[in-house]
Chain A
Amino acid sequence: KAGVTQTPRYLIKTRGQQVTLSCSPISGHRSVSWYQQTPGQGLQFLFEYFSETQRNKGNFPGRFSGRQFSNSRSEMNVSTLELGDSALYLCASSLFRPGANVLTFGAGSRLTVL
């Protein structure tokens, strides 16, 4: 069974640019969540999608956005990049049913902003 696939794995951008990251969940998983991981702030929740709808959002500025497609694949976008956006962006998928909180994470997309 294939795991959570994130692309690209590594990317370098400059300030002011925008970036789009992609996530393919485990087959059958309908919930996709995104997290930002930095040495200073640790792992922080960005947002969660289920059935193409955003169910929950973390405390990040509007420059961070996402969407989910009908096949459960998800993308997140960061516009007007800042140096502080350099981080490992992790996608996690899960079954969406009561009591099933188990998140399976991908390896992440490491973004460096210069």
Chain B
Amino acid sequence: QQQVKQSPQSLIVQKGGISIINCAYENTAFDYFPWYQQFPGKGPALLIAIRPDVSEKKEGRFTISFNKSAKQFSLHIMDSQPGDSATYFCAASSSVERGAQKLVFGQGTRLTINP
């Protein structure tokens, strides 16, 4: 019940296109859903995050869509650029279970933007 399932494992998108990465979770106690971006040789960096009281959050070209009833959330990258090429991780945590800092990560998506 602690799992977060992420798809696809890898994704190739043309420059200017829309990149979409999906995640699903089981634990209904999860109340915080961040996305992290990781470049080779670096640690993951927070990209954008959402709480279940909203269905969508947008920051620049990055949008999280959240479907509480389906227990799914997704990351949309609009106008994808070669600099967006990285590995993306969705994650979830529960403040109720004394685990606000304990993130459960998806397996990651390696995104490649072709110029």
Contact = CB atoms under 8 A, between A and B. Distances in A.
Contacts of A106: 43
Q: Chain A contact residues: over half helix, strand or loop, or mixed?
A: strand
B95 A45 contact: no
Interface string A46-73: 0010000001101000000000000000
B32 A101 contact: yes
Would you list the 9 A-B pairs with minimal beta carbon distance, nearest first?
Answer: A105-B43, A43-B105, A48-B101, A42-B107, A101-B32, A33-B101, A101-B100, A45-B102, A107-B43
Interface of A: 4, 31, 33, 35, 42-45, 48, 55-56, 58, 90, 92, 94, 96, 98-108
Contacts of B91: 43
A40 B107 CA distance: 9
Contacts of B46: 102-104
Nearest to A57: B102
Interface residues of B, number: 25
Interface in B38-62: 41-46, 49
Given A56-B98, A101-B93, A45 B43 contact: no
Given A42-B107, A43-B89, A98-B95, A31 B101 contact: yes
8 contacts: A56-B98, A90-B44, A101-B32, A101-B100, A101-B103, A102-B46, A105-B45, A106-B43
Given A105-B43, A105-B44, 5 more contacts: A33-B101, A33-B102, A90-B44, A96-B101, A103-B101
Interface in B50-101: 89, 91, 93, 95, 98-101
A101 B43 contact: no
A108 B93 CA distance: 21
Contacts of A33: 101-103
A26 to B, nearest CB: 12
A68 to B, nearest CB: 13
Nearest to A97: B100
